[in-house]
Amino acid sequence: MKNVYLTPGQSVLNKPETYVYIDKEEKTDEDRELILQLKRGKMKAFRKLVEKYKKPAFFIALGLVGNREDAYDISQEAFTRVYTSLGRFNPQHKFFSWFYAILSNLCKNHLRSREIRGRYIRSVDDDAEMSSQTNPAPGPDVLMERNERSLRLWEEISELPLEFKEIIILKHFQGYSYKEISQMLNIPLGSVMSRLYYARKKLKDNLKDILT
């Protein structure tokens, strides 16, 4: 028989249309089983893991670095890190939380080196065009529909401090629950709520003109 859970934090009284029934135990057990097989050298298990998480990996990276080629590359690199540092994975933890730590670190390093390169080029050549090349404005090809409002919103999200950008992406574009976010960012539930509050507040203040 299957255990049926509500998604964490979802109370019975609110939004009955958003009930999501998922078999949590089975889900995490599946990852654990795949990792065990991978540790025994089964590449097939690794492939399964990659196929299962490639989309969230790519879209999270895209949200963080704002560029499709880099996001594709970085997310692939994150999976190879999984493979090479498998010994450091604590099977007590959820695979995706661990994976998220690897992925977001790679994204942060990438953003940092992009920023340093940008600063260097600016100091060598005071050309505004050059600096926008190294720190490309979020490409419009990132969005499905390119209307003015979406572009503006995407731009504002991209310019948020990383900590805020991260939580907006996890909540809005990936639709993770507070509990899942708290595991991924390794912060208490209360901090998820307050960080989300400050992130959204900043966003809404910057977007005052289009939100009224």
Partner 1 sequence: MKCEEVKPYLMSHLDGEIEPEKRSEIEKHLEECEDCTKEYQAFVKLKQETDKMKLADLSDELWNGYWKGVYRRIERGVGWIFLSIGAIILLSFGAYQFFKELLADPNISLIVKIGVSIGALGAIILLVSIVRERLFLCKTERYGEVER
Binding footprint of partner 1 on the chain (CB under 8 A): 9-15, 18, 43, 47, 50-51, 54-55, 58-59, 62-63, 68-70, 72-74, 76-77, 79-81, 83-84, 106, 109-110, 113, 141-145, 149-150, 153-154, 168, 171-173, 177-178, 190, 193-194, 196-197, 200-201, 203-204, 207, 210-211
CB nearer to partner 1: give 54 or 94. 54
The DSSP element (H or E) to which 99 belongs, if any, is: helix 95-124
- Calculate Rg over the CA atoms of the chain: 19
Q: How far apart are CA 57 and CA 78, in angstroms?
A: 8
User: Least distance to partner 1 from the beta carbon of 94, Å?
Assistant: 19
Query: Smallest distance from the beta carbon of 197 to partner 1, in angstroms?
Result: 5
CB of 126 to partner 1, least distance (A): 26
Residue 128, CA atoms < 13 Å, CB-side half-sphere? 1
Q: Measured between alpha carbons, how far is 75 from 107 in angstroms, rounded to an integer?
A: 9
Contacts of residue 188, defined as CB under 8 A and 6 or more positions apart, other chains included, come to: 182
Which of 69/129 has CB closer to partner 1? 69
**Of the two residues 91 and 139, which places its CB atom closer to partner 1 in the complex?**
139
Find out whether 74 and 106 touch, Cβ atoms under 8 Å. Answer: yes
